[in-house]
Structures are given as structure tokens and as C-alpha cells.
């Protein structure tokens, strides 16, 4: 579901502007998952066991100002938080 559809369905959702791999993204809510970051960065997420994704972030809120994420992680976000996502093919 696109962010505009989410906002129409639930007007209490706030939007947050984050930066992923140098590109500005508008997301709904106050949290983001590892998988959402990967999809925003690369357009999809692969289940190929030879594909490894890495996510690091900075400029986060007080409880998590910087760190890394792995599959299944969820972090609180704030405006202008920066994420760097990489894709590595082990083969």
C-alpha cells in the first residue's frame, strides 16, 4: 500500500522523511522495518540465499541514534534519519 493510501485510510498516521542511500523517502508512522528499508532502497527484497543485505543508520532519535539492522529488526525513526543499505552477492 502506498503512503498516500495509508494516510487516507488512517489520517492519524504521521509522515516522516528519511534518507536511504542518498534519496529522500516519505514513510508513514514512527517505525520502520529492515525489510521496508531494503524495499525502498532496491525496489524489492530477494530470498536468494546468496544475496546478503546490510543496513546501517545514523541521525536517529535519542533511544537509537545510530546502529545497524538485520532481517526482522524494527527501529524508531525521525525526520532526516539516514540509512545506508547495501546488497552483496556471495556467489
pLDDT at 1 over 50: no
What average pLDDT does range 35-57 have in this prediction? 96
Let me know if 90 is exposed, middle or buried by CB neighbors in 10 A (0-12, 13-18, 19+). exposed
Query: pTM of the entire structure?
Result: 0.85
Q: How many CB atoms lie within 10 A of CB 73?
A: 14
Res 14: pLDDT:
83
Are 38 and 45 in contact by the 8 Å Cβ rule? The answer is yes
Give CA–CA dist 83/54, Å, rounded.
10
**pLDDT, average across residues 11-40:** 92
The Cα 44–Cα 54 span in angstroms is 14
Amino acid at each position: 500500500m502506498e503512503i498516500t493510501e495509508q494516510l487516507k485510510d488512517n489520517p492519524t498516521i504521521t509522515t516522516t522523511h528519511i534518507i536511504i542511500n542518498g534519496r529522500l523517502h516519505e514513510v508513514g508512522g514512527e517505525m520502520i522495518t529492515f525489510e521496508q528499508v531494503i524495499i525502498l532502497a532496491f525496489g524489492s527484497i530477494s530470498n536468494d540465499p546468496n544475496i546478503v543485505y546490510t543496513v546501517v543508520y545514523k541521525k536517529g532519535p535519542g533511544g537509537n541514534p545510530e546502529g545497524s539492522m538485520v532481517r526482522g529488526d524494527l527501529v524508531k525513526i525521525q525526520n532526516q534519519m539516514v540509512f545506508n543499505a547495501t546488497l552483496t552477492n556471495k556467489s
